[in-house]
Amino acid sequence: MIRLGTLGGYAFSGPRLLGGWSPPARPGVYAILYRPDPSSQRYAVAYVGHADDLTAEGFPFRHRRAACWTARAGSKWKVHVAFLEVPGGTRGHREAITAELLSQYHPSCNEERFGPKVRAEWVGRGYGNGSISTPSTTE
């Protein structure tokens, strides 16, 4: 089990070596991982996606972004996968989780990018010129 998301909010199954993984025929969110430092147990997120049926995603290496995963990890035998089933979750739930993970990890192999969305009316007026800033702590 690996925890991903804001404050480790989602308990993903895995990570498992992608080359030996048989995805379940169920909907889910998945993260493609690799170890930037092979001597460490820490993983980096290379890609995040979701599917209505994980078996239809082209795993292990027929997915349209698999070449990027392999290049990022250095070898197809260094690519790992973790997945999350969302009990009772809809496609909308999976899309929201995926967007959150994209916003947090900025995976290099994802073409889509999400960031925190902030509107000017949510922030209000800042100090002086309307920009967001913090008060000076020097006296």
Q: What's the domain range around 98? A: 2-115
List the structure tokens of 40: 């460490």
Could you tell me if residue 97 is inside a domain?
yes
Number of domains in the chain: 1
Could you tell me if residue 30 is inside a domain?
yes
Per-residue pLDDT tens, the chain, 139 aa: give them.
999 988 768 999 999 999 999 999 999 999 999 999 989 999 999 999 999 999 999 999 999 999 999 999 999 999 999 999 998 889 999 999 999 999 999 999 998 765 555 445 544 544 444 444 444 445 4
Could you tell me if residue 123 is inside a domain?
no
Could you tell me if residue 90 is inside a domain?
yes
Could you tell me if residue 77 is inside a domain?
yes
DSSP for 73-97, please give it: HSSGGG-EEEEE--TT--HHHHHHH
Global pTM reads 0.79
